[in-house]
């Protein structure tokens, strides 16, 4: 039986992995939160692993407050970069697989076709830069049988996210403005969790001699405006949505205008079928709306 450690257990992805874990009796899971394993302290990470060994480490923990990162760079880098380096060193020393979750924010967001894993990176803010630093640390240490999975626009029935925010505002307000000139693919954390659980059991993972980068999001494309419209339509909310340009909604951190990720590599290597974003959204909304 393979032992699996999941960090960030209370986050969106970690929570979904906890929900799905009972369906995988051949895997022994340990879920830890920030209280049990402080990823902001690299020394504490090393100490925590002194008497512990796992076949697979899934690092779902991250500093994800994109705007706050602009003024909390040290904390963002501690969790998103320094901690990743510590986990990578542990994985290499223990011959474990490390599955690390990264983001589309490592790119400039100005592309004209879905980003491939080999495309040049160019983060536009502290958050993206800290995530890229974590990727580079992991690639430098290069534990075998390990993956970086970049994803984007993650939502879930757990935690705080765009879907839950839209549901709340759609019930509170008669009209709402939503950005229409940023496009991407929403990602169901439940789908991503299922993909990860498939990957860690796939023989391809064990054959990897180095750390590889993969992309994962749901299929299809939309703007945040389209995303909000779909949430309201499927939830029978009558709130009117006005399209906004990014320049009309300034934020401390710059958002990518283009977040589409090419998923051909992960689909081919791990024989994964990725659901269409609207289908997965309906599933999530049915749960949130009690259907």
Catalytically active residues are 127
B/e letters for 95-115, b = 16+ CB within 10 Å, e = fewer, are ebbbbbbbbbbbbbbebeebb
| Cα–Cα distance list, 120 to 109, 183, 224 (Å) | 11, 19, 25
Structure tokens at 103: 């983001």
Beta strands (DSSP E) in the chain are 2-7, 27-31, 56-59, 97-103, 146-151, 154-155, 175-179, 183-184, 187-188, 211-215, 222-223, 240-244
Instruction: Tell me whether residue 94 is exposed, middle or buried, using C-beta atoms within 10 angstroms of its C-beta: 0 to 12, 13 to 18, 19 or more.
Output: middle
Q: Is the four-CA dihedral 182, 187, 189, 195 of positive or negative sign?
A: negative
| Cβ atoms 53, 97 nearer than 8 A | no
d(CA 121, CA 14): 26
Q: Which residue has the tokens 């909000």?
A: 228
Residues facing 148 on adjacent strands: 100, 213
Phi-psi domain of 86 (left: phi exceeds 0; alpha: psi -120 through 50; beta: other): alpha
Hey, is 27 helix, strand or coil?
strand
Residues facing 87 on adjacent strands: none
Structure tokens at 80: 């998103």
């Amino acid at each position: 039986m393979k032992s699996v450690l999941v960090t960030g257990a209370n986050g969106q992805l970690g929570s979904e992995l906890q929900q799905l874990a009972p369906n995988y009796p051949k895997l022994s899971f340990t879920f830890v939160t920030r209280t049990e394993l402080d990823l902001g302290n690299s020394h504490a990470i090393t100490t925590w692993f002194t008497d512990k060994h796992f076949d697979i480490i899934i690092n779902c923990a991250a500093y994800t407050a994109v705007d706050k990162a602009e003024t909390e760079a040290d904390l963002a880098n501690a969790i998103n970069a320094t901690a990743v380096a510590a986990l990578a060193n542990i994985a290499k020393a223990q011959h474990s697989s490390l599955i690390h979750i990264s983001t589309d924010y490592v790119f400039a967001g100005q592309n004209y076709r879905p980003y491939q894993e080999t495309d040049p990176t160019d983060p536009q803010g502290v958050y993206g830069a800290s995530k890229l630093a974590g990727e580079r640390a992991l690639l430098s240490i290069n534990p075998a049988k390990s993956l970086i999975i970049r994803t984007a626009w993650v939502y879930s029935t757990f935690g705080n996210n765009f879907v839950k925010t839209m549901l709340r505002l759609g019930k509170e307000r008669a009209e709402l403005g939503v950005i229409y000139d940023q496009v991407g693919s929403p990602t169901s954390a439940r789908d991503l969790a299922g993909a990860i659980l498939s990957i860690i059991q796939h023989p391809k993972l064990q054959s990897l001699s180095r750390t590889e980068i993969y992309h994962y999001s749901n299929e299809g494309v939309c703007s945040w405006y389209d995303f909000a419209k779909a949430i309201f339509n499927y939830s029978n909310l009558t709130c009117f949505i006005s399209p906004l340009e990014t320049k009309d909604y300034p934020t401390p951190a710059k958002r990518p205008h283009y977040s589409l990720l090419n998923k051909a590599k992960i689909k081919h290597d791990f024989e994964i079928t990725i659901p269409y974003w609207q289908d997965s959204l309906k599933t999530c909304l049915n749960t949130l709306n009690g259907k």
